[in-house]
Structure 1
Amino acid sequence: MTSLHIQNIKPSPIPDDNLKCQKQIKTLSPLSFQTDWPMIPPSMKLVFLIATALVLRLSANPVAGEGSDLKPDANAIFGSMDNGFEYIIYPNSEPPGKFSVRLHIAAGSLMEDDDQRGLAHFLEHMVFNGSKNFTPAELIPRMQRLGIQFGAHANAYTSFDETVYMLDLPNMDEKTVDLSFTVMRDFADGALLTKEEIENERGVIISEKTSRDSVGYRMMLKQFEYLIPGSRLMKRVPIGTEEVIKTAPRERFIDFYTRYYTPKRMTFVVVGDVEAKEMEKRIRETFISMQNPQNPGQNPPKDIPPSGFGLRSEVFTDKELPSTDISLYSLRPYTQKPDTSTNRINQYPLAIANGILSRRFGILAKEEGSLILSGSASRSAYFNMIEQGGIEVTPTEGKWKEAVPILEQELRKAVQFGFTEEELKEVKANLINGAEEAVKRKDTRRSDGIAMQFIGAIGERNVFTTPETDLELVKSALGKITTEDCQKAFNEFWDTKDISLVLTTPTAPASAAQELKKIFLKSGAAEVTPPTEKALAPFAYTNFGKPGTVVQETKIEDLDATQLMLSNNIRVNYKQTDFQKNSISIKARFGSGQLSQPSGISGLDRFASAIFEAGGLGQHSADDLQRLLAGKNVSVGFGVGEGSFSLSGRTTPEDLELQLQLMCAYLTDPGFRPEGERMFKMALPMLYNQLEHSMQGAMIKVASHMHGGDFRFGFPAQETAMSFDNEMVKEWVMPSFKDAPLELTLVGDLDPALALPLIQKTFGALPERKTAKPNYEKRRKINVPARPDNKKFTFDSKIPNAAAMVVWKIPATGTDVKRTRRFNILASILSDRLREEIREKLGGSYSPRASASPSQELDMGVLQAMAQVKPEETKKYGDLMISLAHKMAENGVTQDELERSLKPIQSGLKESLRDNGYWLGVVLGSSQEKPYMLDWARTRDEDYSKVTIKEINDLAKQFLRKSNAILYEIVPDPKEE
């Protein structure tokens, strides 16, 4: 599915975690330390700062449509109180019996004084650490006992101009509702901000700052200082300065909290299965007593970009950069216009022009002999201060001088000759399709998603319109827009002499900046030719032969699903659902995946995944397919799993036949065109440079070691990867594509009476397939390393980002899912102990975490814990994690810990029942190959409810002992320049 999303200067998400500090805890996965090959085209360029418009609380409420001709969604209830506190209530029934709340505060790091840099974000942490109604150690356990998981259901983030607190509540019980309102009121003005808790949290913030540090972030700061010298934005990055984090006194916290956490800056959002009048009463009772201070905080001054400098060039180098990028920037002052229908429509021509130019770069990158890997054109807004236009290309290794003319000439070609009707037609089709789909899926939008849409509208001062209104605007705009309109908008935007040409690269000579400018100017003398339109053949894969028949049908009444066997031995599973309107998820699993991978050829699986889609089909290139399928809801992704290959996608009832045709086309006639292999190899130098200089590269070595050096879990030498070709992949995978056992699963808003004939004439018409896979018994054996042990892996980086990871060996899942469920609980309890000891008590790591990962295909499993820490403290915290786990083995866990772990898990179980992904990926996707998967679904909820403390303690006693642990230290070891 290709789409171009346009709204009233609706900027892209913040690209760097340092720019939007969020209380986010990531769960480790079974192979969380593996890295995939770069997708084609790769996305390895530095993304520049893009941010939302600065919120200035005015008399009008733009989200409610005041001051605009746009009508807000009539389902939303907007209200305000005498103290200026505003609220939005939006009744919504998906998922049923749940609701989400958000507290938006129009204050962020831009409002900080010089000696407060980082305190807006620090405060976001502190409100969880003691408030009027909760002691410092009380809030998170209280939430857990109600099924609210810290991180997953309770979260927050701080940006430049806003702080947002988020709760997603698992039920409408009185205790849950009471807690949510008490918590949010305490966040608003009840934080205690004690000296002791501030001191305890300083280390956590420093750890977070370190963990988010990266070469990309550092390079972005340098670029921004060059583009806008003295910018307040870059002096107010939310994570703050180390000096302020370590030394700011309590008084400076209180100053910011009392002057900016004020009712006039707050909006409370409630979305869910709620009764509006009752909820409005609660909101007013909870927040009406808040008062505004006599000396409220003011909004900050605006940054003003420089002007009158003409064409300038600069080069920034760092050997740790994964790629070289050439960027052309145009910056100017910006003031956001009101969100009106006219202003929304006026955004389309330039946005479409940028989309077309980006598409051109993508096509160029695939051409034989191309000098670029990717390119893009964009327009962004910076906090109601600055408007930026950017055109960027990523050259192939060592070819930045040759790539400069490509950027210049493609820009000039667009200015001089504009765009073609076919290019415009493709973009229009995708835009209209996206808007139409939003209308069709409106009634099953999730409450948490709607809540975040309101937060976005508040921050961007946009009217919260309905999908129907958006569709009407899209059609109105696109019905009138011509190629001339797009060219005019593009030319007007780039009609400036103040242009900054920036090169970021690992190494460059001292003269590179002057040479960069010289090459750019010289390119301007070269002739450019108009774009040409290429004839496009119709989609070639519509007839696969005689339709198959159903030879066996099994109704699974208790799970409301159906299993079929077709006449060609293809197995089909389907389940009709109503909780994701107009959406059907599909997956075809076949063959044996990594189990069948040629011995000793490490990385071939990733190579296959990377090149497959870029290789197109036999009759259509990947670029031709993008044009052919414009405006259609179809997609195909190829995956290589431990025990199978897969083709997957998501579609709609209307496009189901085309989706099935496309999947069968890839199954019967994958293109393996040279452009996929070519682009992969052009990107390899960037990938290996990134792995050499990042923790990610060291983690791959860890993954290889923990799997006993098995070739499927490591990366090959760069020269080995460079020797891979399409023929190697074809030799491996094509037998499975041809006739290996295949299981097709469809879950979603489908009508079986209409879907079945389409399946029969596509998958059912394919040649007969085998019914059984080889067992690959020897391939399932993993020779795990001996324990206990302590290993250190390094990477070449000056950034002090390190990690300690402990891995305990546990059994594979096999068919014993009951044991796996209990390992999940054990890991959850260990996570909580790591949080309490390493984060809360010692301030040693921002997000220590544990998870259990028993394999279903291989005869091994691991329970792993990880904490990102200072390089000199990896051994200290690694030993501490081993010690904490060993104490659990010796002394067991408490009943309260078990209950606090179980409740959030059970909340997630209930929620998963209304998720197509659960039914597709966990229950039905391999249910005929592995019938026990159905019993897993049947017994899941009851089994979790019967977990005993003895079962958890028995597992801890057996597997969490020091003698079963390997400590991995992952530390930077910078080489001399």
Structure 2
Amino acid sequence: YDVFITSRDNLKDSLPTEESIITLIDKLSNQKEVNISNNNFNLKLASLDLKPGTSKLVSSEDNYKEFLLSNGIKVLYKNTDFDKDRIYIKLTKLEGSSTLEQKEYLNALFLPDILNNSGLGNIDYKSLEIYFKGKNFDVSPFIDDYMQGFTISTTKENLIESLNYFRTLISKPIIDENILNSTLKSNAEIIKNRDFSPKSVFKKSLLSTLNSDHPRRRMLELDDLNLISEENLNNVFNKLFTNFKDYKITVTGSIEETELIKVLDTYFANLPTKSESVEPKNLNVIYPKDSVRKTVVQGIDKKSTVVLTYPYHGEFSLENRLLYGAFSNLLNILLIEDVREKIGGVYSISSRSELEKFNFGENYLQIVFSTDTKRTDEVIDKVKEVINNIQKGNFSKNKIEDVQKNYELNFETAIKTNSFWNNFLEKKNLISDYEFYTPMRYNSIVNYNSIVEFSNKAIDKNNCIEVVLLPEKED
């Protein structure tokens, strides 16, 4: 055996001795092998008594079909052959942890992982690995701020098994005490060691500065873990995953319509849908209204890391979303040319835009880069100059052609993937007038004049949140 142990200096006295490590290895080596019978490899979920519902074809569009289930759930479906025998199903509901109290919200952060690892129905956490032997599917719950649901990815061969797994998970979930305690212990260690990581300290400061110390936009603390319990986890599960009213379903992949109808009738049209509706709640996350500069001095890395955030000013619309993304793509081209190549000021640099309909205005443009510590202010000023030049129209018009060409190349690749259609159908289910943009339609909207006009509306140069990570003083 080879054993290699590393530690921080302040913990070296608590490291195990060579003798204790040898003793442990000898103990493990002398343990008897566990005899697992063949029957254990054939673990099966207990049978379900599901009374089928009905599904009705509502419309057939160019790129998808719409079904309405007898319990009121809407389903959008597209048959594809991109991944041969893969099938993707997603259930989504606008609500998420936004409707929960702070204690419940903290439990919602842990619930999906604990559910995934605790077992379900007649299969406990110790048997999960054996149960999944030879199977190829995944069923995962998720909880975001304003949305929750399940993703199901499976082969055709494992479709029915994955659906039985899903229905067992929502009817007979397990919150295992061992998994819960292990999760809390590992997170406690992460939190204890976090202050020794400059990146973690920087992230903590970034979240605090950008989100005005909002309790839903901060990193976890040790005291938060005291609120995580089996009772609280079950309460969150019951609130989010037992009433499927207002849920939407998308299905893409290698499944024929006749088989789909059987699946919808057997596993989805009979999902419980209680009468009450619950809508997402505005968390009122407020970004600073003026420009802010926060500097974090931590670590010994001989470079600075900078995050510049410009809160979005404007309304949500599909065209604005398109223009925001185009602006970010144009900005990336110019930042590489004017900052990285011309002045050699950064090791890496990129921007990204966030503009969604259901996040109550938590939208922004964010630019991230690293640079030499002595050039930090110079590069920040240069980045702002590039943005200002776009707003003034001081850039070559052929850069817009580059943005258009990049979009066309990406579109031609993306449209031949299930992920593209999964994303399209999910958004279509939530936004009735949602459409994807072909390159021709994209080019009719994204041009020199529209980008200049949009950038002046969306970005206020006097509303920039700067958070900078600098190393501690060098000798």
Given the two structures, how large is their TM-score scaled by the length of structure 2?
0.89
Offset at residue 824 of structure 1 (A): 1.0
1:945 to 436, 440, 443: 443
Q: Residue in 2 aligned with 1:713?
A: 217
Q: Cα distance 1:726–1:524, how it changes in 2: closer, same or farther (>3 A)?
A: closer
Number of aligned pairs? Answer: 467
Q: Cα distance 1:928–1:737, how it changes in 2: closer, same or farther (>3 A)?
A: same
2:248 to 723, 739, 743: 743
Given the two structures, how large is their TM-score scaled by the length of structure 1?
0.45
Q: Cα distance 1:854–1:768, how it changes in 2: closer, same or farther (>3 A)?
A: closer
- Is 1:540 matched with 2:45? yes
Following superposition of structure 1 onto structure 2, how do residues 744-783 of structure 1 map, counting pairs within 5 Å?
744-770=249-275, 772-776=277-281, 778-779=282-283, 781-783=284-286
Q: Residue in 1 aligned with 2:455?
A: 956
- SS state at 2:65 partner: strand
Q: Residue in 2 aligned with 1:350?
A: none
1:889 to 366, 373, 391: 391
CA distance in structure 2 between the aligned counterparts of 1:583 and 1:850, rounded to whole angstroms? 33
Q: Residue in 1 aligned with 2:369?
A: 867
Contact 1:602/1:714 (<8 A) preserved: no
**What per-residue deviation string (whole Å, max 9, x for no partner) do you get for residues 172-226 of structure 1?**
xxxxxxxxxxxxxxxxxxxxxxxxxxxxxxxxxxxxxxxxxxxxxxxxxxxxxxx
Following superposition of structure 1 onto structure 2, how do residues 227-242 of structure 1 map, counting pairs within 5 Å?
none
Instruction: Note the aligned Cα RMSD (angstroms).
Output: 2.8
Following superposition of structure 1 onto structure 2, how do residues 850-865 of structure 1 map, counting pairs within 5 Å?
850-858=351-359, 859-865=361-367
Offset at residue 738 of structure 1 (A): 0.9
Q: Cα distance 1:793–1:955, how it changes in 2: closer, same or farther (>3 A)?
A: farther
CA distance in structure 1 between the aligned counterparts of 2:294 and 2:99, rounded to whole angstroms? 30
Contact 1:850/1:864 (<8 A) preserved: yes
Q: Residue in 1 aligned with 2:173?
A: 670
Q: Residue in 2 aligned with 1:927?
A: 428
Contact 2:146/2:280 (<8 A) preserved: no
Offset at residue 940 of structure 1 (A): 4.8
In structure 2, give the amino acid aligned to 1:958. K
- SS state at 1:931 partner: coil
Q: Residue in 1 aligned with 2:95?
A: 592
- Is 1:966 matched with 2:465? yes
In structure 1, give the amino acid aligned to 2:421. W
Unmatched tracts of structure 2, length 5 or more? none
Q: Residue in 2 aligned with 1:826?
A: 327
Offset at residue 848 of structure 1 (A): 0.7
CA distance in structure 1 between the aligned counterparts of 2:199 and 2:470, rounded to whole angstroms? 8
CA distance in structure 1 between the aligned counterparts of 2:239 and 2:327, rounded to whole angstroms? 42
Q: Residue in 1 aligned with 2:207?
A: 703
Q: Cα distance 1:963–1:523, how it changes in 2: closer, same or farther (>3 A)?
A: closer
Q: Cα distance 1:955–1:930, how it changes in 2: closer, same or farther (>3 A)?
A: closer
Following superposition of structure 1 onto structure 2, how do residues 360-375 of structure 1 map, counting pairs within 5 Å?
none
In structure 2, give the amino acid aligned to 1:723. L
CA distance in structure 1 between the aligned counterparts of 2:11 and 2:191, rounded to whole angstroms? 22
Contact 1:700/1:714 (<8 A) preserved: yes
**What per-residue deviation string (whole Å, max 9, x for no partner) do you get for residues 748-793 of structure 1?**
11112123212321222333345844252x43x3321121221223
Contact 1:591/1:644 (<8 A) preserved: yes
Contact 2:107/2:236 (<8 A) preserved: no
**What per-residue deviation string (whole Å, max 9, x for no partner) do you get for residues 812-841 of structure 1?**
774x11011111111111111211122112
In structure 2, give the amino acid aligned to 1:637. S
Q: Residue in 2 aligned with 1:212?
A: none
- SS state at 2:335 partner: helix
- Is 1:898 matched with 2:396? no
Q: Cα distance 1:840–1:575, how it changes in 2: closer, same or farther (>3 A)?
A: same
Contact 1:892/1:957 (<8 A) preserved: no
Q: Residue in 2 aligned with 1:843?
A: 344
CA distance in structure 2 between the aligned counterparts of 1:510 and 1:784, rounded to whole angstroms? 43
Contact 1:592/1:645 (<8 A) preserved: yes
- SS state at 2:269 partner: helix
Following superposition of structure 1 onto structure 2, how do residues 4-23 of structure 1 map, counting pairs within 5 Å?
none
CA distance in structure 1 between the aligned counterparts of 2:418 and 2:447, rounded to whole angstroms? 30
Q: Cα distance 1:696–1:854, how it changes in 2: closer, same or farther (>3 A)?
A: farther
2:17 to 504, 516, 520: 516
Q: Cα distance 1:770–1:696, how it changes in 2: closer, same or farther (>3 A)?
A: farther
Q: Cα distance 1:908–1:622, how it changes in 2: closer, same or farther (>3 A)?
A: farther
In structure 1, give the amino acid aligned to 2:215. F
Q: Cα distance 1:929–1:511, how it changes in 2: closer, same or farther (>3 A)?
A: closer
- Is 1:734 matched with 2:238? yes
Offset at residue 602 of structure 1 (A): 6.4
- Is 1:570 matched with 2:73? yes
Q: Residue in 2 aligned with 1:614?
A: 117
Q: Residue in 2 aligned with 1:723?
A: 227
Q: Residue in 1 aligned with 2:59?
A: 555
1:809 to 311, 333, 354: 311
Q: Cα distance 1:768–1:542, how it changes in 2: closer, same or farther (>3 A)?
A: farther
Q: Residue in 1 aligned with 2:301?
A: 799
Q: Residue in 2 aligned with 1:624?
A: 127
Offset at residue 519 of structure 1 (A): 1.4
CA distance in structure 1 between the aligned counterparts of 2:223 and 2:398, rounded to whole angstroms? 54
In structure 2, give the amino acid aligned to 1:866. V
Contact 2:112/2:143 (<8 A) preserved: yes
Contact 1:617/1:669 (<8 A) preserved: yes
Contact 1:595/1:642 (<8 A) preserved: yes
Offset at residue 706 of structure 1 (A): 1.8
Offset at residue 886 of structure 1 (A): 1.8
**What per-residue deviation string (whole Å, max 9, x for no partner) do you get for residues 239-282 of structure 1?**
xxxxxxxxxxxxxxxxxxxxxxxxxxxxxxxxxxxxxxxxxxxx
**What per-residue deviation string (whole Å, max 9, x for no partner) do you get for residues 583-642 of structure 1?**
111211135113223247764443223322112214222342321231112111222223
Q: Cα distance 1:876–1:605, how it changes in 2: closer, same or farther (>3 A)?
A: farther
- Structure with larger RCO (C-alpha < 8 A, sep 6+): 2
- SS state at 1:503 partner: coil
1:790 to 285, 293, 299: 293
CA distance in structure 2 between the aligned counterparts of 1:675 and 1:964, rounded to whole angstroms? 48
Following superposition of structure 1 onto structure 2, how do residues 112-123 of structure 1 map, counting pairs within 5 Å?
none
Unmatched tracts of structure 1, length 5 or more? 1-327, 330-500
Q: Residue in 1 aligned with 2:418?
A: 916
Following superposition of structure 1 onto structure 2, how do residues 301-450 of structure 1 map, counting pairs within 5 Å?
328-329=1-2
Q: Cα distance 1:730–1:585, how it changes in 2: closer, same or farther (>3 A)?
A: same
Q: Cα distance 1:677–1:802, how it changes in 2: closer, same or farther (>3 A)?
A: farther
- SS state at 1:928 partner: helix
Contact 2:351/2:368 (<8 A) preserved: yes
- SS state at 2:31 partner: coil
In structure 2, give the amino acid aligned to 1:678. N
CA distance in structure 2 between the aligned counterparts of 1:885 and 1:640, rounded to whole angstroms? 35
- SS state at 1:755 partner: helix
CA distance in structure 2 between the aligned counterparts of 1:516 and 1:789, rounded to whole angstroms? 50
Larger Rg: 1
Offset at residue 893 of structure 1 (A): 3.5
**What per-residue deviation string (whole Å, max 9, x for no partner) do you get for residues 942-961 of structure 1?**
43121221110012223444
Q: Which runs of 4+ in 1 moved over 6 A?
A: 508-513
Q: Residue in 2 aligned with 1:36?
A: none
CA distance in structure 2 between the aligned counterparts of 1:656 and 1:612, rounded to whole angstroms? 20
- Percent of pairs with identical residues: 16
- SS state at 2:416 partner: coil
- SS state at 1:676 partner: helix
Contact 1:889/1:961 (<8 A) preserved: no
Q: Cα distance 1:819–1:974, how it changes in 2: closer, same or farther (>3 A)?
A: same
Offset at residue 683 of structure 1 (A): 0.8
CA distance in structure 2 between the aligned counterparts of 1:749 and 1:611, rounded to whole angstroms? 30
